Structure 1
Amino acid sequence: MVQIMQDTCRESVNLIRDFVDSEFAESSAVQLKKSRVDLAAGLRQVMDTYQRSESLVVKDFSFSSTPDEVYVDIDNNKFLQVINNLLSNAIKFTREGGHIDVTLAQHPDHVLITVADDGIGIPEKLQPVLFDRFTKARRPGLRGEKTTGLGMSIIQALVQLHGGTIWFESQEKVGTTFYIKLPA
């Protein structure tokens, strides 16, 4: 009986998470509150937070920016949520002791952000549907973390709301790199 109760509770929590994620997906289309921010400083702060939590997350994190300050017009909260979601996925699919690298580069007409890991990679058959809502590409993390299949579609929607594009390269057992190109 206790096992049935535990299973029911677990399924109920997962159902609530699905509803919350779905609601977030719907609300991601709200109007952005853009301001001019130093994206390098924001990314540096996010990476510092992950590096400080290394006792919980045993990964090697690195960040680099060229130049040291990169100013863009973004909704800082929503865009940093994109980065946090990508990092969360990288953590989920990278073994302990693995590497997660974030880079930011300024170009004349755009900025390019990369989030790269040396994790398990995305199987080739799942790559074409990765950004689909409730994608079939969803799979549990290395430690059994649950997923709804909404994260990547939300990330793509937020990047597009910022006038940007997102794409990735991945190879199984080698890792994945996500690229985000935003207007300068």
Structure 2
Amino acid sequence: MITNALKYSAADSIVRLEIACHDLQVIFKVVDQGIGISPEDQEHLFEPFHRGQNVGSIPGSGLGLAIVKRLVEILAGQIAVESRPDLGTTFTATFPLDEAVSENGL
């Protein structure tokens, strides 16, 4: 997610990483000001080999987000995307926090 945020954003734009713990969940966000993703492409975003219609000549295989989604699922998490073309994208990965870890303040 971080690599994509950097790859699809202008060199001088900001990519923000956020992490929080809330209601026994760890929430990790990657927020960019890049090229954005159309609603049509968002429907297929996590499918292997899918690339957005607006990526132009930016190199890629279309595997990165499919792999990210699978890894998130292996960790019992969920991933979501919010995006608007030309305005940027926010990826949010949410993972359950083990109750024992939470009780120990970790």
Query: 1:68-107 residue pairs with structure 2 within 5 A?
Result: 86-107=1-22
Structure 1: segments with no counterpart, 5+ residues = 1-85
Structure 2: segments with no counterpart, 5+ residues = 98-106
- Corresponding residue number in structure 2 for 1:134: 49
1-structure distance, mates of 2:54, 2:86? 15
Over aligned residue pairs, what C-alpha RMSD do you find? 1.6
Q: Is the 8 A contact 1:135 1:149 kept in 2?
A: yes
Q: Is the 8 A contact 1:110 1:183 kept in 2?
A: yes
Structure with the greater relative contact order (CA < 8 A, sep ≥ 6): 1 or 2? Answer: 2
Alpha-carbon displacement from aligned partner over 1:54-96 (angstroms, at most 9, x marks no partner): xxxxxxxxxxxxxxxxxxxxxxxxxxxxxxxx11101111112
Count of equivalent residues: 97
Structure 2 CA distance for partners of 1:104 and 1:164, relative to 1, 3 Å: same
Structure 2 CA distance for partners of 1:145 and 1:136, relative to 1, 3 Å: closer
| Secondary structure in structure 2 of the residue aligned to 1:99 | coil
Residue 137 of structure 1 and its aligned partner are, at CA, apart by 3.0
- Corresponding residue number in structure 1 for 2:102: none
1-structure distance, mates of 2:34, 2:52? 16
Larger radius of gyration: 1
1:161 aligns with 2:74: yes
1:113 aligns with 2:28: yes
Name the one with the larger helix percent: 1
1:183 aligns with 2:96: yes
Alpha-carbon displacement from aligned partner over 1:86-139 (angstroms, at most 9, x marks no partner): 111011111121110000011131110100001110122211000011225376
Q: Is the 8 A contact 1:102 1:113 kept in 2?
A: yes
Query: Structure 1 vs Structure 2: percent identity of aligned residues?
Result: 33
1-structure distance, mates of 2:66, 2:51? 12
- Corresponding residue number in structure 2 for 1:67: none
TM-score by length of 2: 0.83
